[in-house]
Amino acid sequence: MKITDLKCAVIGNNPVVRITTDEGVTGYGEVEASKAYLKPHVLFYKPYILGGDPTNVERVMMGIRRIGGFKPWGSAVSAIEMALWDIAGKAAGLPVYKLLGGKVRDKVRVYNGAVRFPMRDGSPESYAENVQQMKESPEGFSIIKHGVAFHSGMPRAVPDLFYGELQSAGFHANRGLLTEKGMNHIVACVEAMKGALGDEVGLALDCGPGMVVADAIKLAKAVEPLNVMWLEDMLTGDYVPYVSPDLYRDVTQSTSTPIHTGEQIYLRQNFQELIEKRAVDVIGPDPCDIGGIAELKWVTEYADLHGILMAPHGTGDGLLGLAALVQVCATLPQNYIAFEYPTGRPEWWYDIVTGLPDPIVVDSHIEVWDRPGMGVDLDETAARQYLSEEDADFFD
């Protein structure tokens, strides 16, 4: 079997990769919804994979991994990798999890991820109301993650939250030392959320990037009595192209509150120090950023050897990304906690992706399906209406 073409179309907001072969087997991968601009970067890799055997996933990937990079550029490589696994599974007549070593679990736990509700304001009462809405969501989430500090609207909603000039740029650009008022507000919001959730639902917090080490330690110690699941990306994180393991280790060693990072990190090599130094308690790579699902599995197993837990990121990965997460998370060792649940946006994505269960999530779990490849597909007839004129030949 040989790869005959690589195409990429932006469907809704998600770039979708389509790899075709000389035996008529097609594979799909998906880039996060925030990265519609990556289509040209995906197509950059076309000459490097044409003619390769897609069922030799590792051999094909060896030709392109080194020319990827930290978020967002690793997304192109990652989507291609997942499309290759889709082909390999379909060609073998097996679900991808079988090719990755088989199931460890029949159901995979997820947390709320892209299931969100609008905030009334930035008050503790509003945070409590918001997580209560998520708690009552029909998915029955057993873990709920919410943004606070620099990973939220707090810098704009709370005057003098931190000592610094408010940045209007995207991707969580604010950074600096919190004021005493700001720290107290964050802790009050966490207390309010935990009061609403009780001990029935775990609370995880996305905090940055942008906190300084001293504030990260203060916040972690302040919330120790609340038994939060983890504090995520306090120092580095979204669109930050470095890891800072020594700084994270200072925070982790100072508190019993679990510390988490990793969604922006590309490739196993860039997790090495973070894991070997036990710089964090939990890592959360995104299969759409780390280099694909096999890379995520490798890093999970290495983390397990060092006593580090795994909670993969995935909020923007779409429904094809959801399928990939289900397949790989079924195979992960017992350091796996849950993955961040992506949804289809716009809503018509559920009309063009076939093979998903209905409902998808029951009691915070997704049952692992057994269909070949990733187990889902695109309905070409239904999807064509959502192709732009530029992408009209995507399915040809």
Q: What are the mean pLDDT values of the chain's consecutive 10-residue runs (396 residues total)?
A: 98 97 98 96 98 98 97 96 98 98 98 96 97 98 98 95 90 94 98 97 97 98 98 96 97 98 98 98 98 98 98 98 98 98 98 98 98 98 97 97
Query: What residues does 14 pair with on adjacent strands?
Result: 11
pLDDT for the residue numbered 168: 84
Given the DSSP bridges, would you call strands 282-283 and 339-340 parallel, antiparallel or unpaired?
unpaired
Q: Is 107 exposed, middle or buried (0-12, 13-18, 19+ CB in 10 A)?
A: middle
* Three-class DSSP category at 258: coil
Pairing of strands 377-378, 353-354: antiparallel
Full set of structural domains in the chain with CATH: 3-93+379-391 (3.30.390.10), 98-377 (3.20.20.120)
Strand partners, 280: none
pLDDT at 315 (0 to 100): 96
Cβ neighbour number for residue 83 with a 10 Å cutoff: 31
CA distance 77 to 156: 35
As a whole number of angstroms, the distance between CA 96 and CA 102 comes to 9
Model pLDDT, residue 120 = 93
Residue corresponding to tokens 């919804």:
33
In the DSSP assignment, the letter for residue 254 is: T
Nearest to 202 by CA among 112, 130, 129: 112
Our measurement of the distance from residue 281's CA atom to the centroid of its chain's CA atoms, rounded to an integer in Å, reads 17
Give pLDDT, residue 171: 86
Per-residue pLDDT at 86: 98
- The whole model's pTM is what? 0.97
What's the pLDDT score for residue 43?
Answer: 98
